[in-house]
Amino acid sequence: MSSDIWCDISNELERYSSSYTIIRQYLSVYEEKCISLIQKVSACFSFEEARESFDELHEVQRNLSTIKYKFEFPLNDRLLDFTYYLDRDDDYSRKYWYEQVRNGLKCPLSDI
Range of the domain at 92: 2-102
Asked whether residue 15 is domain-assigned, the answer is yes
**Which among 38, 26, 108 is positioned nearest to 73, based on CA atoms?**
26
Asked whether residue 108 is domain-assigned, the answer is no
Asked whether residue 78 is domain-assigned, the answer is yes
Asked whether residue 111 is domain-assigned, the answer is no
- Give yes or no for residue 12 having a pLDDT over 50: yes
Query: Torsions phi, psi of 45, nearest 5?
Result: -95, -5
- Give yes or no for residue 112 having a pLDDT over 90: no
Question: What span, in angstroms and rounded, lies between the C-alpha atoms of 6 and 57?
Answer: 43
Asked whether residue 74 is domain-assigned, the answer is yes
Model pLDDT for residues 31-42, shown as the tens digit of each residue: 999 999 999 999
Asked whether residue 22 is domain-assigned, the answer is yes
Asked whether residue 67 is domain-assigned, the answer is yes
Positive/negative CA dihedral, 50, 52, 58, 63? negative
DSSP output for 16-77 = HHHHHHHHHHHHHHHHHHHHHHHHHHHH-SSHHHHHHHHHHHHHHHHHHHIIIIIS-PPPPH
Task: Count up the domains in the chain and report the number.
Answer: 1
**Measured CA distances, 41 to 69, 70, 76 (Å):** 27, 29, 23
- Give yes or no for residue 94 having a pLDDT over 50: yes
Q: What global pTM score does this model have?
A: 0.85
Model pLDDT for residues 43-80, shown as the tens digit of each residue: 999 999 999 999 999 999 999 999 999 999 999 999 99
